[in-house]
Amino acid sequence: MTFSALTIFVLALVAVVVLAIGLWAYGTANRLDRLHVRSDLSWQALDSALARRAVVVRAAAAAMDAPEARRLTALAARAERSERTDRESAENALSSALSLLDPEDLRPQLVAELADAEARVLIARRFHNDAVRDTLALRARRPVRWLHLGGTAPLPTYFEITERASAAAVADGLSLDSVRTSARVVLLDERGRVLLLRGHDPEIPDTYYWFTIGGAVEKGENLRAAAVREIAEETGYTASAESLRGPMWRRVAIFSWGGELIRSEELFFALQTEGFEPHHGGFTELEERTITGHRWCTADCVRELTAAGEAVYPRDLADLLEEAAAVAAAADNPEVRAIT
């Protein structure tokens, strides 16, 4: 049996079309899988942010009058215990109660903690809803539905929570003294240890915390230039902008420092070097008084500091070090993702 040239052409064309459809379906299924993973991870991050807010609310309630304290504690407990279907209403009830708080009734540190917790919830919610939107948009396409490329994975759902005009505010009367962008660096040595600085608020000298290298971006600087400058000022090490990888993480922090309430959007780079002994010749007079030490830390060391009662920022740094090391060793810059 022989085939005409037309028949061969048609068969070849059909084969090409089938192959193209197969490759598209395979790629789309993989993309859907990644989107579902992203939705799941974003929900976990949101759940963690909501849980942290509940913890901070209870701490604030402990410093308040009994009736209001009992109400806040009950609302926080209800929000934590609620199933996913009832979680939105429970969290919104807690948000409404927080909106009635007078910041003047709380210590500045608690005000900052509450503001930070609320801001993290709203940021995590936005990331989650973005992930849900992208997943649903792809799942809704006809070819995806016809070919059942979504498999049996349940459709993700949005999470709606009330946002006030100022996401960083615990109450309408709260105002920020400073808003800034900061470049931070996870500076690693050849053993994977991160260099941390130890410091304290000038108004709270007995409470210490640990943090990564970095600081505010100055006028006229870009992020990389600010990161390079901060490394030189805080460690004495000279790095090139090209050696930095990132930014890899974005973190929004709201905190009280020196009697002011500050909102800082922090972008993190990764850099791996050989171990060295830092010197602080670039410190300002205030930094000389408030930064009291440094330490190269493994992930276990970071956990030990936290267990000893000294906070480490970012909070999940011990779990993030492996990712930072991978970014530092990579040839390309990663996509920026939110951390807490």
Please indicate, yes or no, whether residues 118 and 190 belong to a single structural domain of this protein.
no
The beta-carbon contacts of 314-318 under 8 Å, at least 24 apart in sequence, are 314/212, 314/249, 314/251, 314/266, 314/268, 314/339, 314/340, 315/340, 316/340, 317/186, 317/194, 317/212
Query: By mean pLDDT, which of 171-185, 192-206, 236-250, 311-325 is the weakest?
Result: 171-185
Q: Which of 261, 285, 292, 282 is nearest to 199 (CA)?
A: 292
Q: Note whether 81 and 140 are same-domain residues.
A: yes
The CATH number linked to 242 is: 3.90.79.10
211 φ, ψ (degrees, to nearest 5): -155, 160
Judge contact between 237 and 212, C-beta under 8 A.
no
Q: Is residue 160 a part of any domain in this protein?
A: no
Please report whether residue 62 resides in a domain.
Answer: yes
Asked if 187 and 53 sit in the same domain, the reply is no
Q: Is the pLDDT of residue 328 over 50?
A: yes
User: What's the CA gap between 339 and 302, in Å, rounded?
Assistant: 17
Are 79 and 199 contained in the same domain?
A: no
- Could you tell me if residue 6 is inside a domain? no
Same domain, 126 and 195: no
By the 10 Å C-beta count (0-12 exposed, 13-18 middle, 19+ buried), 273 is classed as middle
- Reply yes or no on whether the pLDDT at 206 is more than 90: no
Report residue 221 as tokens: 């600087």
What mean pLDDT, rounded, does the chain reach?
Answer: 84
Instruction: Give dist(CA 70, CA 204) in Å, integer.
Output: 29
> Residue 141 half-sphere exposure, CB side, CA atoms within 13 Å?
14
Are 130 and 217 in a shared domain?
Answer: no
Question: What is the structure's pLDDT at 61?
Answer: 83
Please identify, among 151, 166, 195, the residue that sits at the C-terminal boundary of a domain. Answer: 151
Please state at what angle helix 5-61 crosses helix 108-139, rounded to 10 degrees. Answer: 160
- Both tokens of 212, joined, read 């990564």
With respect to residue 7, please indicate whether it lies within any of the assigned structural domains.
no
Q: Which of 151, 186, 218 is the last residue of a domain?
A: 151
Q: Give the Cα separation of 118 and 101 in Å (integer).
A: 13
30 in the same domain as 75: yes
Residue % of the chain over a pLDDT of 70: 92
Omega of the bond leading into 67 within 30 degrees of 0 (cis): no
Residue 146 and residue 43 share a domain: yes
Lowest mean pLDDT across 68-72, 312-316, 328-332: 68-72
Buried b / exposed e over 212-250, threshold 16 CB at 10 Å, is bbbbebeeeeebbebbbbbbebbbebebeeeebbbbbbe
**Phi, psi angle pair for 34, to nearest 5°:** -65, -40
Top-confidence residue, 301 or 19: 301
Residues 264/269/273/279 CA torsion (nearest 10 deg):
-20
Would you put residue 258 in left (φ > 0), alpha (ψ -120 to 50) or beta?
Answer: left
Per-residue pLDDT of 218-249, as tens digits, reads 888 889 999 999 999 999 999 999 999 989 99
Q: Are residues 58 and 110 in the same domain?
A: yes
> How far from the centroid of its chain's Cα atoms is residue 89's Cα?
25
What domain range is 20 assigned to? Answer: 13-151
User: 323 and 184: one domain?
Assistant: yes
Structural domain contains residue 318: yes
User: What is the number of domains present in the chain?
Assistant: 2
Taking only the tens place, the pLDDT of each residue in 267-293 is 999 999 998 999 887 888 888 889 999
* pLDDT tens per residue, range 96-128: 788 777 666 777 677 777 777 877 787 788 888
Is 236 a member of any domain?
Answer: yes
Same domain (yes/no): 185, 326 = yes
Q: Which of 151, 170, 201 is the last residue of a domain?
A: 151
Please check whether residue 208 lies inside any domain of the structure. Answer: yes
Question: Are 328 and 187 in the same domain?
Answer: yes
Domain contains 277: yes
Higher pLDDT: 229 or 333? It is 229
